[in-house]
């Protein structure tokens, strides 16, 4: 069976990814090495930097994701800088506060946002496969809900009529950007498993 190192250290993301990969026929383990600097200009570049670093260090196949929230009214910000939007040491609440401040008073039509996740699967010898998943929604004027993480309390998903932070993990994993990207990645892992078995 193909063995794949999961190159994410964020426990909130790991919780989701573990569930999303549960049905995939591969042996997954956590990457314990140093995290590379996320110096890419795009989500795809950053996902590839993380996956390649883990694949090289472990000499195993590796999977990594990079996620950003793009708000059209802010010219696509916070985008690739979503984790550090309010500064290098920003915590989730700081980023959410900055987002709400910048969007204060904007009408519903200007509150459209898209979560995007790039997932990269990399081989020890440097082959990369990248896929993307997205989920469209609206940024609320104030937080609502306690579940999830990051921008979830202000991300309202119209088809579900609630924020991500009001969803259970199972509900979020049916519709989220990360779920859609990982579903595509699972297809690639399936093909790789066949090719190397
Ligand atoms: P990363 O660079 O992929 O680790 O994620 C960037 C930032 O986006 C994180 O620090 C979170 O604030 C936010 N983020 C990533 N995924 C999600 C999500 O599923 N919901 C809400 N916020 C997220």
Give 61's pLDDT tier (boundaries 50, 70, 90): very high
pTM (2 decimals)? 0.95
Separation of 83 CA from ligand 1 center, angstroms?
6
With a 6 Å cutoff on the Cβ, whether 150 touches ligand 1 is: yes
- Report the residue among 76, 82, 86, 154 best suited for mutation to probe ligand 1: largest number of ligand atoms under 8 A from its CB: 82
Residue extents of the structural domains in the chain: 3-196
| pLDDT at residue 157 tops 80 | yes
Choose one of 18, 67, 68 to mutate for the ligand 1 pocket test, by most ligand atoms within 8 angstroms of C-beta.
67
Kindly state if the Cβ of 145 falls inside 6 Å of ligand 1. Answer: no
- Given a cut of 90, whether residue 87 has pLDDT beyond it is yes
CA of 162 to the centre of ligand 1 (A): 18
Distance 68 CA to ligand 1 centre (A): 6
**N residues, the chain:** 197
How many angstroms separate the CA atoms of 77 and 94, rounded? Answer: 15
pLDDT over 80 (residue 196): no
Report, as an integer, the average pLDDT of 77-81: 97
Categorize the per-residue pLDDT at 23 as very low, low, confident or very high, splitting at 50, 70 and 90: confident
195 has a pLDDT exceeding 90: no
* Active-site choice (12, 65, 66, 94): 66
pLDDT of residue 184: 96
Q: How confident is the model at residue 194 (pLDDT cuts 50, 70, 90)?
A: confident
99-156 per-position pLDDT tens digit:
999 999 999 999 999 999 999 999 999 999 999 999 999 999 999 999 999 999 999 9
Whether 66 is a known active-site residue: answer yes
Contacts of 119 (CB under 8 A, 6+ apart): 47, 63, 64, 65, 130, 131, 132, 133, 181, 182, 184, 185
> What pLDDT was estimated at residue 57?
96
Categorize the per-residue pLDDT at 74 as very low, low, confident or very high, splitting at 50, 70 and 90. very high
- Judge whether residue 197 has pLDDT over 70: no
For the CA of 38, the closest atom of ligand 1 is 2
Distances (CA, A) of 48 to 94, 120, 184, 196: 27, 5, 16, 21
Lowest mean pLDDT among 22-31, 56-65, 133-142: 22-31
Q: Mean pLDDT over residues 163-185, rounded?
A: 97
Q: Measured between alpha carbons, how far is 117 from 56 in angstroms, rounded to an integer?
A: 22
Q: What is the predicted pLDDT for the residue at 121?
A: 97
For tokens 């997954």, the residue is 28
Q: Is 78 in the pocket of ligand 1 (CB under 6 A)?
A: no
Supply the pLDDT for residue 9: 86
Q: What mean pLDDT is predicted for residues 11-26?
A: 89
Is residue 6 pLDDT above 80, yes or no?
yes
**Residue ID of nearest Cα to ligand 1 atom 17:** 150
CATH code for the structural domain at 3-196: 3.90.950.10
The answer to whether the beta carbons of residues 81 and 70 sit under 8 Å apart is no
**Atom 12, ligand 1: residue with shortest CA distance:** 150
């Amino acid at each position: 069976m193909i063995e794949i190192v999961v190159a994410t250290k964020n426990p909130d993301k790991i919780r989701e990814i573990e569930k999303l990969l549960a049905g995939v026929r591969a042996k997954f383990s956590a990457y314990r090495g140093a995290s590379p600097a996320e110096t890419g200009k795009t989500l795809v570049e950053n996902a590839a930097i993380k996956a390649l670093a883990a694949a090289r260090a472990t000499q195993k196949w590796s999977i990594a994701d990079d996620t950003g929230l793009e708000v059209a009214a802010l010219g696509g910000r916070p985008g690739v800088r979503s984790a550090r939007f309010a500064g290098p040491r920003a915590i989730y609440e700081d980023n959410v506060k900055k987002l709400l401040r910048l969007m204060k008073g904007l009408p519903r039509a200007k509150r459209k946002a898209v979560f995007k996740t790039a997932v990269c699967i990399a081989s020890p010898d440097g082959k990369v496969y990248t896929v993307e998943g997205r989920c469209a929604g609206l940024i609320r004027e104030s937080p609502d809900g306690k579940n999830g993480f990051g921008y979830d309390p202000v991300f309202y998903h119209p088809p579900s009529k609630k924020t991500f932070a009001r969803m259970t993990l199972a509900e979020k994993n049916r519709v989220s950007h990360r779920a859609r990207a990982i579903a595509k990645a699972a297809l690639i892992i399936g093909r790789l498993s066949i090719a190397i078995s």
